[in-house]
Amino acid sequence: MNTTLYALAITAITISFFHTASGPDHYLPFIVLSKSKKWSLGKTILWTIICGLGHVFSSVILGIIGVYLGWQLNKISWLQDVRGNVSSWALFIFGLGYLIYGIWKMSKKHSHKHFDVLGDEVYVHEHTHGKSASGHHHHQKTKVTPLVLFAIFVMGPSEPLIPLLFFSGAHRSMAEVITLISTFTITTVVTMVGMVLLGIYGYNLLNTEKLDRYVHAISGAVLSICGAGMLFLGW
């Protein structure tokens, strides 16, 4: 595995881990459903893996768009000699832009999902930071079932995977594409299962609700570092 492949894999792992671990909606519903429905540990892990793969699938579908765009860039004859720099600059600039967006979003009120247990049923609703708990009744609640949970995960892809796959598409490197998708998938699913198990057994190693505010900035910073390393350090 060459240096570039190592850098891309580490970037994908880092982004996937922080994206997954910082969002309570990636594991809290499984913990709540497991306890309220008295699921077995095996059933809880199985649904966590299924929803994790659905989440990865939607991310990869968007990422394939990046691969296609990079592949088309590779076909432009006058860019043949400089496409490496073009794709590296694109990754670096996207990372900086995403970092700025993440910093801007940190200063704004943002909504996130809450899961409530009413009797034997679990419901999900959106809640915006800065609003009092008394405002919760204004939000429409949706009953959570395994299929609803799967749909929620499929509709919530991880956007930072796109520029990474664009970079690999520009190189026409299937090895890079396969490595990125594999590491992203494994890290996402393992992190989800790990956080679910920690929650079930009563452990909480991260204050994830606060960390969730920083995940876009963290992803942007990681992409910027990866792009800068390829541009200026020869990764």
* Tens-digit pLDDT profile for residues 74-108: 665 445 455 557 778 878 888 898 889 888 887 77
Provide the residue range defining the domain that includes 218.
3-106+148-232
DSSP-derived 3-state class of residue 86: helix
State how many domains the chain has: 1
* Tens-digit pLDDT profile for residues 129-159: 444 444 444 456 777 788 888 888 888 777 7
Q: What is d(CA 186, CA 205) in angstroms, rounded to the nearest whole number?
A: 21
Judge whether residue 128 has pLDDT over 80.
no
Q: What is the CA radius of gyration of the chain?
A: 19
Beta strands of the chain (E only): which ranges?
Answer: 111-118, 121-128, 142-143
Proportion of the chain in helix, strand, coil states, percent, rounded to 5: 70, 10, 20
Higher pLDDT, 95 or 187: 187
SS (H, E, C) 206-221: CCHHHHHHHHHHHHHH
The reply to whether 125 falls in a domain is no
The reply to whether 198 falls in a domain is yes
